[in-house]
């Protein structure tokens, strides 16, 4: 049985957020939680673009810097914050 998905808008993004229902569970609660996490990342790192990738099911961030900057990804918002900090402290190779 394939999981049903719904697409919701997340503030600050240009695309919808694909949220699995997990057998009829409350997708809006999950979407609200993810939206709060994205807003928290944007408050902590206002110069960084952060988003949830509905196809990769990973958190992503573009960290501006020398040259083109860096694109980082992680499995959750806390891990993404760590990757952002790591990208800010390391020169691009």
Backbone angles phi, psi at 67, to 5 degrees: 70, -125
pLDDT at residue 23, rounded to an integer = 47
Domain ranges of the chain: 5-89
- pLDDT tens figures, 14-51: 444 444 444 444 555 667 888 889 899 999 999 999 99
Is 68 or 14 the better-scoring residue by pLDDT? Answer: 68
Asked whether the beta carbons of 36 and 52 are under 8 A apart, the reply is no
């Amino acid at each position: 049985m394939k999981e049903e998905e719904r697409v919701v808008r997340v503030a600050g993004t240009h695309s919808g957020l694909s949220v699995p229902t997990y057998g009829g569970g409350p997708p809006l609660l999950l979407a609200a939680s993810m939206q709060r996490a994205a807003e928290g990342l944007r408050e902590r790192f206002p110069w960084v673009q952060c988003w949830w990738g509905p196809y990769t099911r990973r958190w992503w961030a573009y960290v501006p810097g020398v040259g083109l900057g860096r694109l980082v990804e992680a499995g959750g918002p806390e891990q993404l914050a760590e990757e952002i900090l790591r990208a800010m402290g390391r020169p691009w190779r």
